[in-house]
């Protein structure tokens, strides 16, 4: 009997990960460990759908393993948790290199100047349904959830941004009334970051966030999940917007986890 995509997704969303797979997720996804049980259960279902619908391909001699698939899927699906989602609809395949790879890049610098060249990259989002990741960098980002750097969060944030039709730092928001505040707050914070960098003032956000509004959104996503307490303290209004978009209060989760450790 034919199963529709909707029915298949509903079935998979209710399916727990096999014990062997779950142990990989727990080991390589620190954020999973601080989630409440109902969110852990939802994340397992999201991972099941993601693995059923996306193709993984190893490049540079890399053999795709369950560890690679599950680690990437778990971090990608954290961005979908609690949200109405179509599971990165334009994404077909995830290409994984063993380590940092060299590729041609085109950058639009502040002032509109476009520069081209070859760069060593940890990840990249392509227009034609593909996303590229370096496995060593995936592992490095997954190993420390408090360093503000996670290439999977970053590249999949670009995927969310692209769903709006153009990667401009404004993803599809759950409530149309959010767009005005989104443009105002993100625009103000983006310009303030550029000014701070130009004047050599210390910043919380990585300087890469000043590249363009799309990179700003991707970098803030990394900080929202990896350094949420600091983001909330230093950029409260920005944190509030991302909390509303991702439907998660990451700062409270991290604070509660830290308190339980002491």
Kindly give, in sequence order, each residue whose CB lies less than 8 Å from that of residue 29, ignoring residues fewer than 6 positions away.
71, 74, 75, 78, 142
Q: What total number of domains does the chain contain? A: 1
Specify the CATH number for the domain of residue 178.
Answer: 3.40.390.10
pLDDT at 233 over 70: yes
Residue pLDDT, tens place only, 105-164:
666 665 566 667 666 565 677 667 899 999 999 999 999 989 999 999 999 999 999 998
pTM of the model: 0.91
Residue 167 contacts residue 158 (beta carbons within 8 Å) = yes
Alpha carbon 200 to chain centroid, angstroms:
28
47-80: string of b/e by CB count within 10 Å (b at 16+)?
A: bbbbbebbebeeeeebebeeebbbbbbbbbbbbb
Give, for 133, the enclosing helix (H) or strand (E). Answer: strand 130-134
End-to-end alpha-carbon separation of the chain, Å?
54
Neighbours of 111 (CB within 10 A): 5
- pLDDT at 57 (0 to 100): 96
| pLDDT of res. 235 | 98
Task: Dig out the tokens for 130 from the structure.
Answer: 């593909």
Residue bearing the bigger pLDDT, 39 or 101: 39
Residue 125 has what pLDDT?
Answer: 77
Q: How many CB atoms lie under 10 A from the CB of residue 212?
A: 17
pLDDT at residue 3, as a whole number: 85
The span from the CA of 110 to the CA of 92, in Å, is 32
Q: Give the pLDDT confidence score for residue 119 in this predicted structure.
A: 67
**pLDDT of 154-192, one tens digit each?**
999 999 999 988 889 999 998 999 999 999 999 999 999
- Looking at residue 124, its pLDDT comes to 72
Q: Report the alpha-carbon distance of residue 219 to residue 225 in Å, rounded.
A: 10
Q: Is the pLDDT of residue 72 over 70?
A: yes
Q: Which domain holds residue 244?
A: 5-261
Which of 166, 127, 157 has its CA nearest to residue 217? 157
Query: Is 186 exposed, middle or buried (CB count within 10 Å of its CB: 0-12, 13-18, 19+)?
Result: buried
């Amino acid at each position: 009997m034919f199963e529709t995509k909707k029915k298949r997704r509903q079935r998979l969303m209710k399916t727990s990960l096999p014990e062997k797979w779950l142990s990989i997720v727990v080991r390589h996804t620190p954020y999973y460990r601080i989630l409440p049980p109902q969110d852990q259960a939802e994340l397992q279902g999201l991972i099941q759908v993601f693995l059923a619908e996306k193709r993984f391909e190893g490049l540079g001699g890399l053999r795709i393993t369950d560890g690679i698939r599950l680690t990437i899927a778990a971090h990608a699906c954290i961005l979908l948790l609690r949200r109405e989602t179509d599971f990165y609809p334009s994404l077909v395949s995830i290409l994984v290199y063993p380590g940092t790879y060299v590729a041609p890049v085109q950058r639009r610098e502040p002032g509109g100047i476009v520069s081209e060249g070859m760069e060593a990259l940890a990840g990249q989002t392509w227009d034609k349904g593909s996303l590229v990741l370096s496995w060593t960098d995936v592992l490095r980002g997954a190993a420390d959830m408090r360093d503000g750097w996670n290439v999977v969060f970053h590249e999949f944030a670009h995927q969310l941004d692209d769903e709006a039709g153009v990667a401009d730092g404004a993803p599809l928001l759950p409530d149309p009334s959010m767009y005005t505040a989104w443009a105002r707050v993100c625009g103000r914070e983006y310009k303030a970051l550029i000014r701070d960098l130009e004047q050599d003032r210390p910043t919380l956000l990585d300087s890469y966030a000043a590249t363009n509004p799309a990179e700003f959104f991707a970098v803030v996503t990394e900080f929202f999940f990896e350094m949420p307490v600091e983001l909330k303290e230093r950029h409260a209004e920005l944190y509030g917007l991302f909390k509303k978009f991702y439907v998660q209060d990451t700062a409270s989760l991290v604070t509660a986890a830290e308190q339980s450790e002491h």
